[in-house]
Amino acid sequence: MNKLEEYLERLQQAEDLSDLQSATETLRDHHSISHIVYHWVNSAGERFGAGTYSSDWVDRYLEMDYLRMDPVIFGCFKRFHPVNWKQLDWSSKAARAFFQEAVEYGVGNQGYTIPMRGPNGQFALFTANNDCDDGAWEGFIQENARELMIISHEFNKKALDFENAREAPATPSLSPRELSAMTYLAKGFSRAQTADELSISEHTLRVYIEAARHKLGALNTTHAVARALSSGIIVV
């Protein structure tokens, strides 16, 4: 069994969103690139995410409502084929400022995004991202485009399976510490206050919050708390 077959078999065995999160990390490390991200909107319009962008960048992206002007989102929504980010329109001042800020937050200067569509309006993007020169990135795409296409559609198939089985927001298993952290945040405690209540450092608290966020398929901490509340995982 080759590496691709091995990876696809593991992906096919994914049971929840945290397994998809682990799959993005494994693929990123396998290719030694900056990031792998899978982001989708299900048929009910709810967004989910699995990927390796930093939580700081995800929070900043949502805080600034960059979804409304992101050239990758707009460019890929109009396409059915994979897109090298160099093909997108970055000519506006706002787009260039957005790109510069993304790079400062650790997003690579190169990207390759595969748009996908499913039944009832489901839309997804699968992105490979790295920091390198144009020539190196073109070489990476030529070498890995077929493999990334196969993997992206396996991600999408798994997400649709979750939705059809109503598992996408299903009750993931949070550890007692993760549950406590989410509960305090849901009650309006700050991170500092939550860490104090749990008698841990803010750094350790961040680890618990990130773990819970990934398991819940949430885009940021606020989204994670909302998902935990709406699914009944925590009660305040």
Helix residue spans in 105-164 (DSSP H): 134-164
Residue 168's pLDDT is: 44
| Six token digits for residue 102 | 């993304």
Residues 6+ apart with CB under 8 A from 224: 182, 209, 212, 213, 216, 218
Question: Residue 169: what pLDDT?
Answer: 47
Report the pLDDT value the prediction gives residue 27, as an integer from 0 to 100. Answer: 95
Take residue 222 and report the two structure tokens written for it. 């606020």
Domain 176-230: CATH class, spelled out: mainly alpha
Ranges of CATH 3.30.450.80 domains, the chain: 3-164
Q: Provide CATH 1.10.10.10 ranges for the chain.
A: 176-230
Tokens 């190196």, located at residue: 136
Q: What per-residue confidence (pLDDT) applies to 44?
A: 67
Give the contacts of 31 (CB within 8 A, at least 6 positions apart).
128, 140, 144
Q: Which residue has the tokens 């989410």?
A: 182
Q: Are 61 and 109 in contact (CB under 8 A)?
A: no
* Tens of pLDDT, residue by residue, the chain (236 residues): 588 888 999 888 888 888 889 999 999 999 999 999 999 887 666 778 889 999 889 889 888 889 889 999 989 987 889 999 999 999 999 999 999 999 999 999 999 999 998 777 788 999 999 999 999 999 999 999 999 999 999 999 888 888 776 544 456 788 889 999 999 998 889 999 999 999 999 888 988 898 888 888 787 888 888 888 877 888 77
- Alpha-carbon Rg for the chain, nearest whole angstrom, is 18
The SS3 of residue 36 is: strand
Question: Has this prediction a pTM greater than 0.85?
Answer: no
3-164: CATH topology is Beta-Lactamase (3.30.450)
What are the tens digits of pLDDT across the range 150-198?
Answer: 999 999 988 888 877 654 445 678 888 999 999 999 888 999 999 999 9
Pairwise CA distance, residues 194 & 183, whole Å: 9
